[in-house]
Structure 1
Amino acid sequence: MSDWFLQGQYGVRFEWGPVGARHLASDTGCLVVVDVLSFTTSVTVAVEAGTQVFPCAWRDETAAAFARDKGAELAVGRRAVTPASPWSLSPAALRRAPFTPRLVLPSPNGSAISAAAAGSTVVAGCLRNAAAVGRLLARQGHGTTERPLVVIAAGERWPDGSLRPALEDLLGAGAVIDALAARGGGPLSPEAAAARACFDRTSDVAAAVTSCASGLELARSGFADDVAVATELDVCAVVPVLTGGAFHDGAGA
């Protein structure tokens, strides 16, 4: 492939999914992964509590072995939560769960994007911490033509495995881009500017996420509390940064 897809003349860039992450991360020093329902939202909840979060792309026997190797608890599926295994990808469940210092959090979308950005600074962004992410990255000089960054919306998957662009991730990415632009980041690529405009022109972001396809899926499956946590706009001051294989709070950096 040629370099036309890299959005190379812009300080803030935007793309979708693990494939987009692999291609654009190679040309930037910082990648913000946005997976609102629910990987990056869950990461913020866990890191707020003081937990180190190890991303893992798969929820199978390799994830269990990975957790044992890291001396960490393993998050289970939403419906598999038990008193013995209270941690899951559900941010609401994580709030209720007892504290654990180390947690492996499987997610085929958010974790795969984090892994695709090897060599770049990886930050977990969502609606809860968009302003904090923008503040930190602007303070560190990211998001300029000299130090470009890319915001990756995770999206979801259709049954055939292809990418389904998801409104909640577009809005979350737009919120991060808006926070960066408000602090001097840029110039924005047309793709990034469009994501920002989607966020700016959505009068009620929480309502949009709650009533979009992904929000309805979770609510009708009994996990409306997860959507409520994910739509807490700018309530979180932590900025999870992937360091040594785990997300830690980088807001004090």
Structure 2
Amino acid sequence: MDDDWYLQTGHGVRFEWGPTGAKRLAPGAACLVVVDVLSFTTAVTVAVEAGTRVFPYRWRDETAATFAEEAGADLAVGRRMASASSPWTLSPAALRHAPFTPRLVLPSPNGSAIAAAAGEAPVAAGALRNATAVSHWLVRQGYGTPERPIAVIASGERWPDGSLRPAVEDLLGTGAVIAALRHAHGDKALSPEAALAAAAFEATPDVAAAVSASASGRQLIGGGYAEDVAIATEPDACAAVPVLADGAFTLAHG
């Protein structure tokens, strides 16, 4: 058996889960889309549409502060660690209400690790609130053909033992991006994995209700962060397409 069976070759739109899936698909992809609906990529869309450059960082430890200082950026802290001096967190709602900052480091083990896995390939941040905008940008750039394939990566969450927990919100977020791409490229462009993600999105009558009732949604709502879930499920409310360039997500042009 060939050792590249996992690459979904022959298809212009491909789909996988988590940092490991990103590492596997990235070498054969012309562009990578990371989707972490609750909350990394949603937070990125909120910040970038406000004009902030967002530097993803993989570790939530003391090295993040050093990285932020070297980048000349403010540092987003944990949701419950927000203060008057550090009002920026991974919470989209907190970012929406916080003072503007031109440069922000956003620690996220999953989202940042997926972005880093892309290597030299462009990386776009996708979410439910900008899925159509992302798909339109990808099509304008000529991505989505077998010659220039897209790898759409659902971030997922983590179980306490560190293993990947596939998450409803990220399946629906990737499905939203892929469903929009299918309108441009047709069914044959999608790998079976990608087609099933799109089908899951299209078969869900109320995406916001599904995300709110999911394990991740219940966790956030129960912790007092219902506004984060509400922002994350705003359907196509955002026209911003964050693209990673020079180490930071910024607004794509073209």
Structure-2-length-normalised TM-score: 0.98
Equivalent position of 2:104 in the other structure: 103
Equivalent position of 2:38 in the other structure: 37
CA distance in 1, matches of 2:10, 2:145: 10
Q: Does 1:153 align with 2:173?
A: no
Equivalent position of 1:233 in the other structure: 235
- Of the three residues 182, 201, 219, the one matched with 2:203 is 201
Structure-1-length-normalised TM-score: 0.98
Tell me the SS of whatever aligns to 2:128.
coil
Equivalent position of 2:133 in the other structure: 132
Equivalent position of 2:144 in the other structure: 143
Deviation at 1:183? 1.7
Q: Does 1:22 align with 2:26?
A: no
Deviation at 1:172? 0.1
Deviation at 1:87? 0.1
Write the mapping of 1:1-253 to structure 2, written as runs, cut at 5 A.
2-184=3-185, 187-250=189-252, 252-253=253-254
1:112-147 CA-partner distances (Å, limit 9, x unpaired): 101111111100000000000010101111011111
CA distance in 2, matches of 1:221, 1:3: 42
1:181-203 CA-partner distances (Å, limit 9, x unpaired): 11226510000000000000000
Report percent identity of matched pairs: 67
CA distance in 1, matches of 2:137, 2:238: 13
**Matching residue's letter, 1:5:** Y
Runs of 5+ consecutive residues of structure 2 not aligned to the other structure: none
CA distance in 1, matches of 2:246, 2:119: 11
Tell me the SS of whatever aligns to 1:26.
helix
Tell me the SS of whatever aligns to 1:76.
coil
CA distance in 2, matches of 1:35, 1:118: 19
Runs of 5+ consecutive residues of structure 1 not aligned to the other structure: none
- How many residue pairs get aligned? The number is 252
1:48-72 CA-partner distances (Å, limit 9, x unpaired): 0000000001111111000000000
1:25-80 CA-partner distances (Å, limit 9, x unpaired): 01111000000000000000000000000000111111100000000000000000
CA distance in 2, matches of 1:215, 1:119: 33
Runs of 4+ off more than 2 Å = none
**Matching residue's letter, 1:2:** D
Deviation at 1:237? 0.3
RMSD (CA atoms): 0.9
CA distance in 2, matches of 1:16, 1:184: 22
Tell me the SS of whatever aligns to 2:189.
coil
